[in-house]
Amino acid sequence: MLVITRTPIRISFLGGGTDYAEFFEPHGGGEVLAASIDKYCYLKVNTLHDFFEYRLRVSYRKTELLQSIDEVQHPSVRECLKFMKAELPLEIHYMGDLPARTGLGSSSAFTVGLLHALHAYKSEVVSAERLAREANEVEHNWIKERVGYQDQCMAAYGGIKHINFIDKDEINVQPVPLNKNRLKELRSNLMIFYTGITRFAHEILEEQMEKTINNSNTDSLIKMRGLVGEGIKILTDNNRNLSEFGELLHEGWEIKKGLSNSISNPEISIAYDKAVNAGAVGGKLLGAGGGGFLLFVVPPEKQNAVREALIPMKELTFDFAPLGSQVIFYHE
């Protein structure tokens, strides 16, 4: 038996930070606006033949050769296997289009993709809703990671989504209705650049979560939540200029920087200012902060100037991904 899943990573436009239970449960919910892009996590699960001395092989940036699930060092692999009551012998292999720890939700895409592959390995067809729910269960209650709730939903559902977080067990995922021309226009006005800095999100989030729990971030997060509805209005009104969306991203970024001293740094601030001076309307750092990718709204006629201003940063060419996690190969 061999199964391969392909799961998209995401860019978060507005509302990031309000998808943490520490905020949305006591403060009337959270909201995000996000999109999946055509950069993927690939997970292969197959039967391991009994010729080998080990019963479990796990390959990612390193390879683990093991006799039992309890020995697995990779937290998501170990807990997904336990959650799914997987039976050995097995081989699990991960491939990713982009580096990990760069603010694009690849950690949750990994978890969603692996759960999907393990279900398919058992010949089980699962919905996006179930994949998102199970990934949240594994990451929050089994691995006990301090993460939000949007990344699992985006990896499972794909597309451009408006997500409402009522409580941990009630998450409403709705598509943002953009026609073909508006979608193309949005894509043609976006640019993404890699800062070259990777980081562990939980290290960035410690201060932010402390402030969220003691309510010193509450006003800022409520403002960030309020930007989501306005962002959707701009995107879905074909008569509105997308420069308004860029201005909204800038407003959200200015608020977000105040959530923690670790979110931005001098290198990121210099790059952001260079892009704006070259013609970007606005933008943000994707993910928890501290590194990863910068997203900008830039009119097409200004994009070459922004590219030149941000040399030597590498630009990420991308398109939107309409589908969430998919089984792309299945062989019994």
- The per-residue pLDDT for 201 is 54
Residues ≥6 apart with Cβ < 8 Å to 303: 191, 279
Answer whether residue 183 shows pLDDT above 80. Answer: yes
pLDDT at 30 over 60: yes
d(CA 210, CA 207): 5
Sign of the torsion angle spanned by Cα atoms 124, 150, 204, 253: positive
Residue 139: its pLDDT value, please? 98
CA distance 274 to 266: 12
pLDDT reading at 41 higher than 80:
yes
- Residue, of 181 and 217, whose pLDDT is higher: 181
What does the pLDDT look like over 144-158, one tens digit per residue? 998 899 999 999 999
- Does the structure show a pLDDT above 70 at 200? no
pLDDT (mean) for 315-325: 98
Q: In this predicted structure, which of 150-159, 197-206, 209-218 has the lowest mean pLDDT?
A: 197-206
Average pLDDT, the chain: 94
Separation CA 10–CA 160 (nearest Å): 9
Say yes or no to pLDDT of 61 above 80. Answer: yes
Residue 206: its pLDDT value, please? 65
Burial call 59-81: b when 16+ CB within 10 Å, e when fewer: ebeeebebeebeebebbbbbbbb
Does an H or E element contain 100, and which? none
The architecture in CATH of the region 180-316 reads: 2-Layer Sandwich (3.30)
- In this predicted structure, the answer to whether residue 203 has a pLDDT above a threshold of 60 is no
Whether residue 180 is predicted with pLDDT greater than 90 in this model: the reply is: yes
Whole-model pTM? 0.95
CA distance 211 to 194: 28
Domain boundaries, the chain: 2-177+321-331, 180-316
Q: Identify the DSSP state of 301.
A: G
For 48-56, the CB contacts below 8 A with 24+ separation are 48/88, 48/89, 48/90, 48/91, 49/89, 50/89, 52/89, 55/88, 55/89, 55/90, 56/88, 56/89, 56/90, 56/91, 56/92
- Of 296, 257, 291, 265, nearest to 278 by C-alpha is 296
pLDDT in tens, 229-279: 999 999 999 999 999 999 999 999 999 988 877 788 889 999 999 999 999
Please check whether the domain covering 2-177+321-331 is classified as CATH 3.40.50.2300: no
Average pLDDT over residues 30-34: 98
